[in-house]
Chains A and B, each alone.
Chain A
């Protein structure tokens, strides 16, 4: 039940974000106009066509019916229905196989595997419906490769924890399993949705890529040189993430002169760095030779928790912290930082233009 409530809240939040800034018309009109521009390049004109027709539909039921049909076409445009069915079928088969394998090999991750598999299948199906948009450029391919590598590293790290310390990933309520699958799939989707074509797109992709790679390099250097700490090698709220987001948003906004491009670069940097940070941090804790409890609060919690060993307790604590803080709470602060950076970047650009003039 809590999971359902959480997902409903998340869906409502997503809907609000999608509809944010669209104050024209009723809910059906805003829904249709929100996704109207997501059609592939060669079908772009059909989105505004459906939005315009909706203005002629009278009556609430008729409007909702028309909007539902339009949304269906906008999300699954022809003529790729065959391809969509194939991708959905293959995706479902892979998700089912991953869930069965997880249930056998790492039972504590079966809910996570099933949820993540289903969400990725949904993402792949949507992507198949909108393919081909246009030939992806080298910056997009590099960003997509890094995003996929970071997601794979995250899942591999989690599986390693589940194999070595199964109790650390035990999740009786399944809240953390579902939450982690949702945020990981969401981060991947954010990183893989290509920005609109043009010079700005490449600039923002390159800034986000450079910032994420720089952040990743710092974390790897820390993991290799600094003695590991059971509470994580780099801390849950790493200043490296903040610096990377700021660098990307300021750089992209100053280069393009566009605040949305700067904000998008910041968001993309968050989506790329959070999984890298998770893998580096948990990987560092996993490499510890011995685990000891020094905090009295931890000692008391360990005695109550029923964990078989200290390592499982510490890793479980660290995983929960990384998921809630590293993937949910801290990114909210980072998004605010991205907006500030984007605003600062556009001012820098204006200042540069004024000086040049």
Chain B
């Protein structure tokens, strides 16, 4: 039997940001700036989400001179379902705006067991 661990506040913040516009491909650095997170925190979360099949990754197909192609991320179907389930608090109503990682860490919501 596998134990489902409660996601961290930062993971939930990333899931929410990605679920905000589920069809849109997102860049790693844009997510960092949007959520006020460091690369050292963001990338392990993205890696774990991709490991679990919750995150779809892709490379830019359009060639831009002067820089390498960037990695893109968006939630998969199960990822979107997980994000929705995770963001549904047991007792409190969810915040209306995407919470930054810092504020999410300060006021950790009571997450429903995902």
**Chain A residues close to B by CB (< 8 Å):** 43, 45-46, 48-57, 65-66, 68-70, 72-73, 77-79
Contacts A52-B68, A52-B71, A79-B51 given; indicate if A69 touches B39 (C-beta within 8 A).
yes
For B42, list chain A residues within 8 Å (CB).
Answer: 69
The answer for the CA separation of A357 and B92 in the assembled complex, in Å, is: 77
Contact code string B43-60 (vs A, CB < 8 Å = 1, else 0)? 110011001000001000
When the two chains form their complex, are residues A66 and B43 in contact, meaning their CB atoms are under 8 A apart?
no
Interface of B is mostly: helix
Across the A-B interface, the 5 shortest Cβ-Cβ residue pairs: A69-B40, A69-B39, A49-B71, A72-B40, A78-B44
For B70, list chain A residues within 8 Å (CB).
Answer: 49, 52-53, 56
B63-77 with Cβ < 8 A to chain A: 67-71
A-B contact pairs, 26 of them (CB 8 A): A43-B47, A45-B57, A45-B71, A46-B47, A46-B71, A48-B68, A48-B71, A49-B57, A49-B71, A50-B28, A50-B39, A51-B68, A52-B67, A52-B71, A55-B68, A66-B38, A69-B38, A69-B41, A69-B42, A70-B39, A70-B40, A70-B43, A73-B39, A73-B43, A73-B47, A78-B48
Chain B contact residue count (CB 8 A cutoff): 20
Other contacts beyond A48-B68, A56-B70: 15, CB < 8 A: A50-B28, A50-B39, A55-B68, A56-B27, A57-B29, A66-B29, A66-B32, A70-B40, A73-B39, A73-B40, A73-B44, A77-B44, A77-B47, A78-B47, A78-B48
For A45, list chain B residues within 8 Å (CB).
Answer: 57, 71
- Nearest-neighbour CB distance to chain B for A25, whole angstroms, equals 10
When the two chains form their complex, are residues B44 and A53 in contact, meaning their CB atoms are under 8 A apart?
no
For B47, list chain A residues within 8 Å (CB).
Answer: 43, 46, 73, 77-79
Contacts A45-B57, A48-B68, A66-B32 given; indicate if A53 touches B48 (C-beta within 8 A).
no
The answer for the CA separation of A56 and B72 in the assembled complex, in Å, is: 14
Closest chain B residue to A79 by CB distance?
A: B48
Contacts A45-B71, A46-B47 given; indicate if A53 touches B27 (C-beta within 8 A).
yes
Interface centre among A53, A55, A69, A78 (most CB of B within 10 A): A53
Interface centre among B39, B47, B48 (most CB of A within 10 A): B39
The answer for the CA separation of A66 and B39 in the assembled complex, in Å, is: 6
For B57, list chain A residues within 8 Å (CB).
Answer: 45, 49
Closest chain A residue to B71 by CB distance?
A: A49
Closest chain B residue to A73 by CB distance?
A: B43
Interface centre among B27, B41, B70 (most CB of A within 10 A): B70
- Nearest-neighbour CB distance to chain A for B65, whole angstroms, equals 12
